[in-house]
Amino acid sequence: MRRPLLGITLAVIVGISPSAAQQSPTAVARPAGREPILTIGGLIQAQADFGDRGDSRFTNDNDRFYLRRARLNATGKFLEEFDFRLELDLAGSLTNTSALRAQATDAYITWNRYHAAIVRVGQFKTPFGFEQLYGDPRLATLERSLVNDRLTLSRQIGVQVSGDLADKRLTYAVGAFNGNGTNNNFNDDDRFLIAARGAGVPWRGGLNGIPASWTVGANGYQSHDANVPQGPEFGFDSTPATPDRDAIFSGDRRGWGIDSQLVFGRFDLWGEYLSTRWEPESRRPSAVVESSGWYAQAGLYVVPERLQVVLKEETFDPRTDHSGDTTTTDTAGINYFFKGHDLKLMVDYLRVQANRDPDQNKVLARLQVIF
């Protein structure tokens, strides 16, 4: 009895009217399984870079056009309170790439019967870092802060329990993951990365009739790694016998962070601090490496739901005991929303100071479509 309703649901999703679906059932896309809801969507971010190279995530200073993200996803839900998501990215890189290929971003199954204890298994974002967890299409700047890019854990394969309490004023998540990055279907040793996050809303209300809220969060993780690639700025080397440093980390690492967000009508203010302690087994570049950084970001809708201006300052220090390697970036951005986040134009100007080199001036532009 569910199949006719399923056909109508999917027909609406793909743009066929329910009446047409009933008259021409052969034209209706049907899922292979028995899920009553299946939604297909995607994201395209067409981007351009102009000016100097910028920070260490960019590979050269050539002006270029490229696809920052080009994603297709399918989300389904079963009546038994299970849901799933599969998303593929066909681009997704700041570095120069050729022969673009698809890779999985999200691929997970969720049991959501109890809102206070939701269980998820598969590949998804780890509960560490507020900006990292915030959805790519909804960010106010084109790129996340460099410290968030370098010190958070991105997507991993594992299992997580999360939920909300006290009328959603408190949220938590704790999970165990392989710990060796995205799209790696193995564990580099027999131990797991453990990550946890908690957040709360100390105040929610209004001032002079303007809605406002204040949120705070904290997170941490620990892991022992045998073979995990990291950025070259840390100086790690798992093979001291060879002259070149391979940027592979083996050893113990622990990270923690705090963050806060204030929303007051059309104005919002974000801040986050992240820190990681590395203990490489090779003792290269040293027995202990401390890394840290922070960002502060302010956004204002000068035209409600249409035009937003953003200012951001950030810093990242990969080795706090080593001078001259800190990267500081100031960003000024403007976002125009044709149709919310579904269709928007973003332009950012970045001034980057890194490694005592001359200032880098870079302009990023993006047109985004969500479908």
Cα 162 to Cα 80, 109, 112, 173, 220: the distances in Å are: 19, 13, 10, 4, 15
State how far the Cα of 348 lies from the Cα of 47, in Å rounded to an integer: 11
Residue 344: which of 352, 333, 330, 328 has the closest Cα?
333
Which domains does the chain possess? 1-30 (no CATH), 45-67+95-100+135-370 (2.40.160.10)
Q: Is the link from the previous residue into 18 a cis peptide, with omega within 30 of 0?
A: no
For residue 364, the 8-state DSSP code is: E
Residue 124: which of 103, 109, 107, 112 has the closest Cα?
107
281-308: b (≥16 Cβ within 10 Å) or e: ebebbeeebebbbbbbbbbebeeeeeeb
Q: Locate tokens 């939920």: which residue?
A: 163
Residue 360 pairs with which residues in a beta bridge? 352
Residue 332: which of 308, 316, 315 has the closest Cα?
308
> CB within 8 A of 357, min separation 6: which ones?
none
The encoded tokens of residue 346 equal: 């973003």
The encoded tokens of residue 203 equal: 């105040």
Q: What is the CA radius of gyration of the chain?
A: 22
- Predicted local distance difference test score (pLDDT) of residue 98: 76
Largest interatomic CA distance in the chain? 72
- Predicted local distance difference test score (pLDDT) of residue 28: 55
pLDDT tens for the 371 residues of the chain, in order: 334 333 333 333 333 344 444 444 444 556 777 778 899 999 999 999 999 999 989 887 899 999 999 999 999 999 889 999 999 999 878 877 777 778 999 999 999 999 999 999 999 999 999 999 999 999 999 999 999 999 999 999 999 999 999 999 999 999 999 999 999 999 999 999 999 999 999 999 988 899 999 999 999 999 999 999 999 999 999 988 887 889 999 999 999 999 999 999 999 999 999 999 999 999 999 999 999 999 999 999 999 999 999 999 999 999 999 888 999 999 999 999 999 999 999 999 999 998 777 899 999 999 999 99
Number of residues that make up the chain: 371
- Predicted local distance difference test score (pLDDT) of residue 243: 79
For residue 136, the 8-state DSSP code is: G
- Predicted local distance difference test score (pLDDT) of residue 29: 59
- Predicted local distance difference test score (pLDDT) of residue 93: 80
- Predicted local distance difference test score (pLDDT) of residue 9: 37
Cα angle for residues 151, 157, 162 (degrees, 5° grid): 80
H helices within 14-129, ranges in order? 18-23
The encoded tokens of residue 99 equal: 């022969």
**pTM of this prediction?**
0.89
* Collapsed DSSP state (helix, strand, coil) of residue 19: helix
